Amino acid sequence: MLVVATAGHVDHGKSTLLRALTGTDPDRLAEERRRGLTIELGFVHTRAADGTPLAFVDVPGHRRYLSTTVAGIATAPTVLFTVAADAGWMPQSREHLAAIEAFGVRHGVLAVTRADLADPGPVLDDARARLARTSLGALPAVAVSARTGEGLDTLRGHLGALAAGPAGHAGAAPTDPPVRLWLDRSFTAPGAGTVVTGTLTAGTLTVGDALEIAPSGLRATVRGLQSLSEPAERIHAPARVAVNLRRVHHEQVRRGDALVTPGA
């Protein structure tokens, strides 16, 4: 599985692009849809041409929600960096890129959005040059329009190529490493109890596993697993997962916590 976080200035078309790629709206809150503004992390998925799952973490672009943005970028091995053709490089473009560098993200795709509204060439060249000086280096780039569909097939191809390479196998190892699951949501599901979601960056999760919540040190048992809305008995990194936990209340788990192998 390839896990991809979006990045880019507010209103540069991150969520709109994901809707075009996946057919699903990553903005799940009524307030987000009313304002046309991403506030919380959003999660959608699709598949590459070869069937490899592509899981997206959509982040807010507005500066007021930068801490939420950082939570989304921090655990994704790949970024989909967006810059609008009719706006160019902006303040949150710089801030999001700083977060990408801080967490050492090395894989990504540059998408110059709204290519139907302005010539994307100058923005494409400028953004590519800026990104090339960072941990991302020289990365694939494409001009896209979510409205007309321009460039979407090329973008899917770039994402598929990343999924087939090192970015799609982050966390994989000949001998299974300790579990490291970074959490970004904790809630109660009817009939299930505490559910947490996050990005599994290392190890393998199995129903029945006894794990530790870091940094609190609380212990919890895996009651059930899902990945991309499908139930599973066992999930290998890298992956987006939902974990139904026993022995812990959802208010005892916070965004930024991690589920880890005890004592590792």
pLDDT in tens, 224-239: 999 998 999 999 999 9
pLDDT of residue 28: 58
95-104, 164-173, 247-256: least confidently modelled range: 164-173
> How confident is the model over 160-189, as a mean pLDDT?
80
**pLDDT value at residue 1:** 92
The CA distance from 209 to 204, in Å, is 10
Domain(s) of CATH 3.40.50.300: residues in the chain: 2-169
Q: Where does 180-260 sit in CATH, by number?
A: 2.40.30.10
Q: Is the pLDDT of residue 149 over 60?
A: yes
Summarised one tens digit per residue, pLDDT across range 82-97 is 999 999 999 889 999 9
Residues of the chain within CATH 2.40.30.10 domain(s) are 180-260
Q: What share of the chain is helix, strand, coil (3-state, %, to 5)?
A: 25, 35, 40
Q: Which fold has domain 2-169?
A: Rossmann fold (3.40.50)
Whether pLDDT at 64 is above 90: no
pLDDT of residue 174: 47
Q: How far is CA 250 from the centre of its chain?
A: 22
Which tokens sit at 199?
Answer: 């990005």
Please state, rounded to an integer, the average pLDDT across all residues of the chain: 89
Look at residue 34 in the predicted model and tell me its pLDDT.
Answer: 53
Measured CA to CA, the distance from residue 74 to residue 99 in angstroms comes to 8
